[in-house]
Amino acid sequence: VVLGSEPWHSQVPADWVPIIARDSQRQRKQTSQPPFSDAYLSGMPSKRRKIVA
Amino acid sequence: MLFFSHFTRVCLSMRQSTPFCRESDVANITHLTVKITTYLKLKLFFVDMAAQNVRGVSRVLEKLENSIKDGNYYEAHQMYRTIYFRYLSQKKYTELLDMLYKGALLFLEHDQQISGADLAILLVEVLVKSESTNYTEWTPKLCKIFAKISTNYPERETFITNAIRWSAKGGAQGHPFLHQGIAQVYWNEKNYVHARHHYLYSKDGQGCAKLLIEFQTTQGYSSEEDLFITQVVLQYLCLRNQATASQTFNNYTKEHPRIRKSGPPYLLPLLNFIWFLLQAIESRKLSTFTVLCEQYEPSIKRDPCYIQYLDKIGQIFFGVKPPPQQQRGGFFGNFLHSFLSGLDDDSDDDSTVQASTSSVRVLEDNTELD
């Protein structure tokens, strides 16, 4: 990553830039989120839980 | 007294000898006899008490405790209630609190759930009436009682709800120390859902992280390792508790068997996002916050709630103005309100919602109460 090659680089500490850039790449390859477990759903606010589940 | 026990014996023998005597009659007469006996004993007891006023309190306690130990539960319970009213009118709060605490525990240790829970509820009433704010003294005691009331007994909820309300005096959420104690009791019972809920209102990031690791590894999916911690960190931040948010995040990432490593950066982008977000909150730089939300959008979108939480976090820590549609309500506005009102304060509009399972309903009730 060339520091300053994108406008957002100047808005974060310099040592974050390579990590964020790498994560951007990784996220592009990310598969869609599988359905949530009941355990995870139990942490959601009740109304949303019903919509997602 | 002799007469009454004789009377009982007659009743019981009647039951054996006369086939026409109905079972319910005998039960009623026996019950009445117990009541009258107790009343007379109580009268004698108070005459006795008045005569020796000086050593009164300790004698009363001793007598009551012996009564329970001897198995005279009904009688003992009535005595406790009578003394409760007496002391309350005299504003003898210290003695009363001590008596109710010991009494509740003693009943519960003898598995007298109804009497134990009744005294426990009276105990909280006295805490409220005496305007006690001694949370450090009472939190462990209340939690000890809470742990001993059986989980299927509905008065348990009443007791702990009232206790939280007492500890919330002057605030909206109940004392963090009490929430921490309740969370630990639920955790011991492997009730992860309720434990998590109460940790959210505590300041125990270490305990919360440990609980989440156990919850995630035993009941969550492996694809949710980063989601469990993200969910709770964002919720802590919505409650303006960034210190516990950070503590929970640090402990979770350090101790989770599949994340554990020397430190950030992490392999999972969402974990880096949270790590950066917590630092951005320290600096309060809106432009940093905005860049993070943009760059990590695909990860943020994994759970549709995250965008709502981040909206709120933007308002709390970065001076973002709430969008007008949200104030008017609408679908997302209402949704957010339902969560935040549970977290923050005020009443909420959840009461009309029919929960699909009882555990969900319990959670909603809890949310309403805080």
Residue pLDDT, tens place only, B69-128: 999 999 999 999 999 999 999 999 999 999 999 999 999 999 999 999 999 999 999 999
Q: Which residues of B touch A20 (CB under 8 A)?
A: 272, 276, 291-292, 295-296
User: Who contacts B226 (Cβ-Cβ below 8 Å, separation ≥6)?
Assistant: B259, B268, B270, B271
Pairwise CB contact (< 8 Å): B221 & A30:
no
Are B220 and B187 contacting, i.e. CB atoms less than 8 angstroms apart? Answer: no
A40:B220 CB<8 A? yes
By the CB < 8 Å criterion, does A45 face chain B? yes
pLDDT of residue B368 exceeding 80 = no
The tokens for B138 are: 């009472």
Q: Do B292 and A26 touch (CB under 8 A)?
A: no
The mean per-residue pLDDT over the stretch B252-276 comes to 92
Hey, how many other C-beta atoms are within 10 angstroms of the C-beta on B232? 24
Residues 6+ apart with CB under 8 A from B203: B176, B177, B180, B241, B243, B244
Among B226, B272, B284, B331, the residue to mutate for chain A (most A Cβ within 10 A): B272
Q: Which of B187, B218, B224, B309 to mutate to test the interface with A (most CBs of A within 10 A)?
A: B224
3-state helix, strand, coil in chain B (%, to 5): 75, 0, 25
Given phi > 0 = left and psi -120 to 50 = alpha, else beta, which region is B346?
left
pLDDT in tens, B2-51: 444 554 554 455 455 445 556 677 677 777 777 777 777 777 666 666 65
B356/A23 touch (CB, cutoff 8 Å), yes or no: no
* Dihedral angle computed from the Cα positions of residues B258, B261, B265 and B267, in that order, rounded to the nearest 10 degrees: -30
Higher pLDDT among residues B10 and B345, named by residue = B10
Whether residue B285 lies within 8 A of chain A, CB to CB, comes out as: yes
Most confident of A39-53, B38-52, B309-323: B309-323
Interface residue of A10, A17, A33 to substitute, partner B, most B CBs within 10 Å:
A33
Q: Is A40 on the interface with B (CB under 8 A)?
A: yes
Full-model pTM: 0.79
pLDDT recorded at residue B155: 95
Cα A29 to Cα A27: distance, rounded to the nearest angstrom? 5
Tokens coding B161: 């709800």
Instruction: Give residue-wise pLDDT tens across range B177-220.
Output: 999 999 999 999 999 999 999 999 999 999 999 999 999 999 99
* B300 vs B271: CA distance, rounded Å: 11
Whole-number average pLDDT of chain B = 83
Of B222-226, B321-325, B353-357, which range is least confident?
A: B353-357
CA distance linking residue B219 with residue B213, whole number of Å? 10
* B303 near A CB under 8 A: yes
B183 against A45, higher pLDDT: B183
ipTM of the complex: 0.94
Count how many Cα atoms sit within 13 Å of the Cα of residue A38 in the half-sphere of its side chain: 7
- CB–CB contacts below 8 A, A to B: 108
Shortest CA distance from A38: residue in chain B: B220
